[in-house]
């Protein structure tokens, strides 16, 4: 009986306890993609009662009845507090990543560090920020996102190169591109060979304390790329696709057919009147037109156009070459992880058809990322990618035979095809190729293969000591095929078409052995020491053959044997090697006082024996002031850190054999016969040494309101000495130039960044990322003024290199209006005694300012007329999210930079070339001289436009670079975690005073000495894309 009573009492007591508890069930997922979060902590607020989520992100928790709030936390995510409603038993929570979390581990050179422990200027870009505008390449995704990283495109062509400057120009003869490091191994190849969808994070090292560990290749900054790895949980399958349409941003308004023939008649009339020439009008004023046997085409009259000839407007050759471009991109990835390791396998396909007929770019990429824990103390891994890309190019960004040039200057009174003339197609070959024939009969294709593999073995020797062996292998192969038919200017002058095939390849082997010691002493002292040895070897080779004179254009470049003539074949082979010893010490005292010191000792085969090795040290200090009790008492700062650093980096960007003698074969006469011999290929310089860059950086990081408002300020001073450059030497040496160390370069700048979480509520969020950067550049140490290379054959000495001036100063004449009457001409000392005929011919001609006070305009009258360097560059992003709907707007721009508009140098208002409507409307006439901007039209071919301020324009702009709208459907059907559908629009609008296609142009690409030039460049385009992403 006692046992029965005891059982009844225990049962009643248990029922009372159960009645006082409630079971809450639910799930926790990543807010970005809906994937389950494994191991997330779920706690009753203010207690130790809690649980963790399982492999599906689900949880079940008994909570006391009346519990009002639960807290959710997970490593790398913002902690979240959720209120419970009365009688609520189900709860689904989405958690956002905390990109400002101070304990977040950031990848740095040869290791990693907590964000709070960084002592250098390091910026991190997450995958979501990189991909918001569907970029083709890493460099495109970087544009405008990070302070001090200035990204400019060469032009708007598919697959076009991007030029990256980190904290200004260090050299005007060697490359300014930063070093890319992918999964710990240097990557040398076009950034478009890296699929942005494979990237997890991108870290930019800007100051010398961060980059000195890369020694001779760190002078231009370092970009560390970490590719995606599998995460714990169910295997994840992700498929994304986008489909877009593109059109040119802008058209250049040139003369239509009726206006063109009036302009041409006026030019001949002026020639006859002002130059007393014996000529006749080329186009009939009355009556019908006629076929001109001398020119071989029809000359329409005003009446013809009034009667509908060529639709009454003539041919718009821009309509002939421009079309709607189409872009397709597809990416598939499968990933997963367990306690034994992780894996990620991905594939991507990208195809872009350009807005100019015949241009395009495609890429197929495969990547495998596998990491395994063989034992508790042994880990191995590989990150391997294989890429094949195909670029189809049209000739642009050149003054010679550019298809854009042809479309602008080709006469608009001519049709594409006229059955009444020989050959059918109209041709004015001495001026430009028929644009239709140029795109039809020109082929230029490059096929690139890239294999890149980063592999490692890591062993825990002791608890605090690790050894890591890394092996990196890469291969890049390029095959180029080109053909220019007999109807193109390139092919006609060959003659009868020309073709070429060439290939180049390079391989690189990197071996790296590294020891890392990491230990915390007595809780307050954290010491991390790294020492490593690396060895690299690069091999490369190339060969090329070109032929000409074909019977027909049928076989293009695929049968070189069909040509009757062959140019001399060429080939080459070479190698270089680099060995390095490096080390770094990081010391953290009480999580407040931080110290970093590093060194790298590099030896390069490119330099002579006496100058082969160089030492690159760095040191950095940081104070986390926000951890001091007296600052905590202020209740102002969530984070306050001051940084200071100094370091040296180098540059070895010269050819492999510049310091040794080299012979080229040559035939020479000896005893009445030709014998083989050799001559020096160039004048070698055994005294060449490394370029060395010294940089000092002061930084300040501030966080407010629990790091919802964050600011970073960096001030830097950078000096590069012993610049490697080609200088002109006396012809008596037998050579034209020689590579020497000469001159210094100074960059000073200020960088400001802000990240603010304006609104962070459950159903609505708004955050802002913004940056602005100022950089001033100055040349020092030159013996005399010198100039960059010529822009093209008859346009030279445009960019001057002068002490105390920046790289990018434009040098030329200053215009002083026009000679409006004979009195003005005679007032010019150069024409004081000229004949009446000469005086009359000068009316309506450009007048240049005499700056040296001597009679006549000479080269001494040139001065600084422009500067292509911006006062500042900026970018800012607004991200909005309401429930599962998100909106992102990214603006970027540049202020204060000039552009040399080389397109206008060919608008001489002479002969048959078409001109812009603006030039026609503002041409000099006796009645319009007060408002004239362009000289009078004429047939006098002696007119030569000088490099002057006429061609320098303000290149400042503000652009809405991308607008992205997405909606995420969470678990729309069984087995689907999420489906995201969105629309992305790029280059929606641009505010700029620049007169040509686009202010974001850089025709000479990575040539730092000739930036800011626009010459018949492939125009940028506006794109509308439909995107979706499926996660299983």
Rounded Cα distance between 163 and 429, Å, is 34
Q: Are 196 and 130 in contact (CB under 8 A)?
A: yes
Q: Within its chain, how far is the Cα of 249 from the centroid?
A: 19
Q: Say which CATH class 2-95 falls into.
A: mainly beta
- Among all chains, which residue has been given the structure tokens 């890149």? 452
Q: So what's the pLDDT on residue 366? A: 97
Per-residue confidence (pLDDT) for residue 698, from 0 to 100: 97
H-helix segments, 415-551: 435-440, 489-492
Q: How confident is the model at residue 705 (pLDDT cuts 50, 70, 90)?
A: very high
pLDDT(19) > 70 = no
Query: What pLDDT does 163 receive?
Result: 86
Q: What is the C-alpha to C-alpha distance for residues 123 and 710, in angstroms, rounded to an integer? A: 13
Poorest-pLDDT segment among 62-71, 176-185, 854-863, 866-875: 62-71
As to burial, measured by CB atoms within 10 angstroms (0-12 exposed, 13-18 middle, 19+ buried), residue 50 is: middle
Backbone angles phi, psi at 500, to 5 degrees: -150, 155
> What is the pLDDT averaged over residues 121-130?
90
Residue 30 confidence class, pLDDT cut points 50, 70, 90: confident
Beta strand 162-166 with 341-353 is unpaired
Alpha carbons 61 and 67: distance in angstroms, whole number = 12
Strands 69-73 and 1021-1031: unpaired
The answer to whether the Cα torsion of 131, 135, 136, 139 is positive or negative is negative
CB atoms within 10 A of CB 832: 10
Residue 777: C-alpha distances to residues 155, 483, 748, 807, 821 (Å): 24, 42, 7, 7, 44
438 vs 207: CA distance, rounded Å: 48
Q: Which of 192-196, 396-400, 798-802 has the lowest mean pLDDT?
A: 396-400
pLDDT digits 0-9 by tens, 888-946: 999 999 999 999 999 999 999 998 999 999 999 999 999 999 999 999 999 999 898 99
Number of Cβ atoms within 10 Å of the Cβ of 647? 28
Q: What is the DSSP string of 893-959?
A: EEES-EEEEGGGGG--SBTT---BHHHHHTB--TTTGGG--BPPPB--TT----SBGGGEEE--EEE
**273: nearest Cα among 936, 921, 922, 935:** 936
| HSE-CB of 490 using CA atoms within 13 angstroms | 25
Tell me, what's the pLDDT at 67? 85
Give per-residue pLDDT as tens, 713-723: 999 999 999 99
- Reported as a single tens digit per residue, the pLDDT across 434-462 is 999 999 999 999 999 999 999 999 999 99
Strands 90-95 and 846-848: unpaired
What mean pLDDT do residues 275-288 have? 93
3-state secondary structure of 270: helix
Count the Cβ atoms, other than its own, within 10 Å of residue 596.
27
Would the pLDDT of 40 be above 90? no
Those residues whose C-beta lies under 8 Å from the C-beta of residue 201, and which sit 6 or more positions away, are: 107, 124, 125, 126, 127, 225, 226
- CA pair distance 933, 215, nearest whole angstrom: 52
Q: Residue 331: how many CA atoms within 13 Å on its side-chain side?
A: 21
Burial 180-194 (b: 16+ CB within 10 A, else e): bbbbbbbbebbbbbb
Distance CA 41, CA 47 (A): 13
| pLDDT over 90 at 234, yes or no | no
How far is the CA of 951 from the CAs of 32, 802, 871, 995, in angstroms? Answer: 49, 21, 20, 11
pLDDT over 90 (residue 77): no
Average pLDDT over residues 818-834: 92
Neighbours of 406 (CB within 10 A): 26
DSSP string, 159-215: T--EEEEESS-S-SSS--PPEEEETTEEE-S-GGGS-GGGEEEEEEE-SHHHHGGGG
Band (18; pLDDT cuts 50, 70, 90): very low
- Tell me the residue ranges of DSSP E strands in 497-656: 498-521, 525-548, 565-566, 570-589, 593-604, 613-624, 637-651
Residue 853 tokens, joined: 């006070």
Using CB atoms within 10 Å of the CB of residue 21, give its burial: 0 to 12 exposed, 13 to 18 middle, 19+ buried. exposed
Lowest mean pLDDT: which of 124-138, 318-332, 948-962?
124-138
164-186 tens-digit pLDDT: 999 999 887 777 889 999 999 99
> What confidence tens digit (pLDDT) does each residue in 1007-1021 have?
889 999 999 999 999
For residue 54, the cross-strand partners are: none
**CA–CA separation, 125 and 146 (whole Å):** 8
What integer pLDDT is reported at residue 16 of this predicted model?
Answer: 44
Q: Which residue has the higher pLDDT, 396 or 390?
A: 390
Q: Mean pLDDT across the stretch 118-140?
A: 89
CA gap 405, 1018 in Å, rounded: 10
pLDDT band for position 21 (cuts 50, 70, 90): confident
d(CA 562, CA 497): 11
What b/e readout covers 913-930, taking b as 16+ CB neighbours within 10 angstroms?
Answer: bbbbeebbeebbeeeebe
Mean pLDDT of all residues in the chain? 91
Of the chain, the percentage scoring pLDDT greater than 90 comes to 68
Query: At 26, is the secondary structure helix, strand, or coil?
Result: strand
β-strand pairing of 1021-1031 with 978-992: antiparallel
For residues 7 and 782, the model is more confident at 782
Percent of the chain past pLDDT 70, that is, above it, reads 97
| The predicted structure's pLDDT at residue 8 | 44
DSSP code of 840? H
Higher-confidence residue: 685 or 301? 301
Total-model pTM: 0.89
Confidence of residue 430 (pLDDT cuts 50, 70, 90): confident
Q: Which two tokens stand for residue 848?
A: 């240049």
Phi first, then psi: give them for residue 729, nearest 5 degrees: -125, 160
Q: Where along the chain do its domains lie? A: 2-95, 814-861
pLDDT score recorded for residue 131:
87
Residue recorded with tokens 């490394």 = 690
- Residue 10: its pLDDT value, please? 46
Check residue 13 and give its pLDDT: 41
Distance between the two ends of the chain, CA-based, in angstroms?
A: 60
Task: HSE, CB side, 13 Å, CA atoms: give it for residue 954.
Answer: 10
Residue 403 in this model has a pLDDT that exceeds 90: yes
The count of residues in the chain is 1032
Helix, strand or coil for residue 440?
helix
Instruction: Name which residue leads in pLDDT, 339 or 269.
Output: 269
Q: Which residues lie across from 547 on neighbouring strands?
A: 499, 566
Instruction: Return the pLDDT at 17.
Output: 40
Longest Cα separation, the chain: 142
Reduce the DSSP state of residue 428 to 3 states and report it: strand
234, with CB counted inside 10 A (0-12, 13-18, 19+), is middle
Q: Which residue has the tokens 């191994």?
A: 185
Q: Which of 120, 97, 43 is nearest to 621 (CA)?
A: 120
pLDDT tens figures, 247-263: 999 999 999 999 999 99
| Pairwise CA distance, residues 841 & 486, whole Å | 40
CA distance 317 to 333: 44
pLDDT tens-digit profile of 404-415? 999 999 999 999
> Cα(910)–Cα(943) distance, rounded to whole angstroms?
8
Q: Specify the higher pLDDT residue, 219 or 992.
A: 992
pLDDT, tens digit, for every residue of 729-757? 787 777 878 888 899 999 999 999 999 99
Provide φ and ψ at 56, rounded to 5°: -100, 10
Eight-state DSSP code of residue 217 = G
Beta-bridge mates of residue 963: 889, 985
């Amino acid at each position: 009986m006692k046992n029965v009573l005891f059982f009844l009492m225990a049962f009643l007591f248990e029922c009372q306890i159960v009645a006082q508890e409630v079971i809450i069930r639910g799930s926790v997922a990543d807010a970005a993609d809906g994937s389950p979060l494994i191991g997330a902590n779920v706690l009753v607020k203010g207690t130790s009662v809690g649980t963790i989520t399982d492999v599906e992100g689900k949880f079940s928790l008994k909570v006391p009845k009346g519990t009002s709030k639960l807290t959710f936390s997970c490593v790398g995510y913002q902690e979240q507090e959720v209120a419970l409603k009365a009688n609520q038993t189900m709860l689904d929570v989405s958690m956002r990543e905390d990109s400002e979390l101070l304990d977040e581990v950031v990848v740095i050179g040869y290791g990693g560090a907590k964000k709070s422990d960084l002592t250098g200027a390091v910026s991190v870009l997450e995958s979501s920020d990189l991909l918001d505008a569907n970029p083709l390449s890493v460099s495109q995704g970087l544009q405008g996102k990070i302070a001090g990283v200035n990204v400019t495109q060469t032009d708007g062509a598919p697959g076009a190169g991007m030029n990256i400057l980190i904290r200004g120009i260090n050299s005007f003869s060697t490359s300014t591109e930063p070093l890319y490091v992918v999964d710990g191994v240097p990557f040398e190849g076009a950034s478009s060979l890296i699929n942005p969808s494979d990237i997890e994070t991108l870290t930019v090292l800007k100051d010398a304390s961060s980059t000195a560990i890369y020694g001779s290749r760190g002078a231009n900054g370092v970009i560390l790329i970490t590719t995606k790895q599998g995460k714990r949980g169910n295997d994840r399958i992700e498929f994304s696709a986008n489909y877009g349409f593109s059109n040119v941003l802008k058209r250049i308004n040139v003369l239509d057919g009726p206006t063109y023939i009036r302009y041409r008649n006026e030019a001949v009339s002026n020639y006859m009147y002002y130059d007393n020439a014996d000529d006749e009008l080329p186009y009939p004023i009355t009556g019908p037109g006629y076929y001109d046997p001398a020119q071989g085409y029809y000359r329409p009259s005003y009446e013809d156009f009034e009667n509908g000839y060529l639709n009454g407007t003539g041919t718009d050759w821009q309509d002939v070459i421009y079309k709607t471009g189409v872009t397709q991109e597809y990416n598939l990835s499968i990933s997963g992880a367990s306690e034994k390791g992780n894996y990620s396998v991905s594939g991507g396909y990208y195809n872009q058809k350009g807005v100019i007929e015949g241009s395009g770019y495609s890429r197929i990429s495969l990547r495998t990322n596998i990491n395994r824990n063989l034992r508790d103390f042994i880990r191995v891994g590989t990150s391997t990618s294989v890429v094949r890309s195909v670029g189809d190019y049209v000739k642009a960004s050149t003054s010679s035979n550019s298809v854009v040039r042809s479309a602008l200057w080709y006469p608009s009174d001519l049709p594409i095809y006229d059955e009444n003339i020989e050959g059918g197609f109209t041709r004015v070959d001495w001026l430009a190729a028929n644009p239709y024939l140029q795109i039809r009969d020109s082929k230029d294709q490059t096929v690139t293969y890239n294999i890149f593999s980063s592999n490692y073995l890591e062993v825990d020797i002791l608890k605090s000591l690790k050894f890591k062996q890394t092996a990196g292998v890469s291969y890049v192969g390029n095959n180029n095929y080109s053909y220019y038919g007999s109807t193109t200017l390139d092919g006609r002058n060959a003659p009868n078409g020309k073709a070429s095939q060439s290939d180049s390849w390079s391989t690189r082997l990197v071996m790296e052995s590294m020891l890392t010691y990491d230990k915390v002493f007595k809780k307050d002292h954290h010491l991390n020491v790294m020492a490593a040895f690396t060895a690299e070897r690069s091999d490369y080779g190339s060969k090329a053959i070109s032929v000409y004179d074909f019977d027909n254009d049928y076989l293009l470049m695929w049968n070189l044997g069909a040509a009757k003539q062959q140019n001399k074949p060429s080939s080459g082979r070479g190698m270089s090697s680099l060995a390095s010893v490096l080390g770094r010490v990081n010391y953290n005292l009480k999580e407040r006082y931080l110290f970093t010191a590093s060194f790298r000792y590099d030896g390069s085969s490119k330099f002579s024996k006496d100058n082969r090795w160089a030492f690159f040290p760095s040191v950095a200090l940081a104070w986390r002031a926000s951890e001091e009790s007296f600052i905590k008492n202020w209740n102002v700062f969530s984070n306050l850190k001051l940084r200071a650093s100094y370091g040296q980096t180098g540059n070895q960007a010269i050819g492999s054999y510049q310091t040794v003698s080299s012979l080229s074969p040559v035939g020479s006469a000896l005893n009445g016969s030709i014998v083989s011999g050799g001559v020096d290929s160039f004048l070698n310089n055994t005294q060449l040494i490394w370029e060395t860059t010294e940089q000092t950086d002061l930084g300040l990081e501030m966080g407010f309101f629990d790091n919802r408002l964050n600011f970073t300020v960096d001030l830097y001073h950078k000096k590069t000495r012993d610049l490697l450059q080609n200088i002109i030497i006396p012809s008596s040496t037998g050579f034209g130039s020689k590579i020497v160390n000469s001159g210094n370069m100074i960059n000073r700048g200020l960088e400001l960044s802000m990240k603010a979480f304006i609104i962070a509520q459950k159903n609505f969020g708004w955050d802002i990322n913004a940056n602005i950067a100022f950089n001033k550049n100055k040349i020092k140490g030159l013996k005399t003024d010198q100039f960059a290379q010529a822009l093209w054959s008859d346009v030279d000495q445009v960019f001057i290199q002068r002490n105390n001036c920046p790289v990018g100063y434009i040098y030329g004449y200053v215009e002083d209006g026009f000679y409006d009457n004979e009195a003005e001409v005679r007032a010019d000392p150069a024409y004081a005694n000229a004949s009446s005929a000469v005086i009359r011919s000068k009316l309506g001609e450009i007048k240049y300012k005499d700056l040296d006070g001597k009679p006549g305009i000479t080269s001494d009258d040139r001065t600084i007329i422009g500067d292509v360097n911006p006062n500042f560059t900026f970018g800012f992003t607004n991200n909005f999210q309401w429930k599962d709907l998100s909106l992102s707007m990214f603006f970027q721009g540049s202020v204060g930079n000039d552009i040399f508009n080389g397109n206008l140098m060919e608008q001489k208002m002479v002969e048959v070339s078409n001109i812009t409507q603006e030039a026609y409307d503002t041409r000099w006439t006796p009645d319009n001289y007060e408002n004239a901007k362009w000289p009078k039209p004429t047939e006098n071919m002696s007119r030569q436009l000088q490099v002057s301020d006429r061609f320098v324009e303000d290149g400042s702009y503000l652009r809405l670079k991308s607008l992205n709208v997405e909606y995420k459907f969470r678990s729309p059907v069984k087995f689907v975690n999420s489906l995201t559908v969105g629309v992305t629009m790029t280059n929606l609008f641009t505010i700029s005073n620049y007169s040509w296609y686009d202010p974001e142009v850089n025709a000479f690409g990575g040539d730092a000495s000739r930036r800011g030039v626009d010459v018949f460049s492939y125009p940028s385009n506006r794109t509308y894309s439909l995107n979706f992403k499926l996660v299983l």
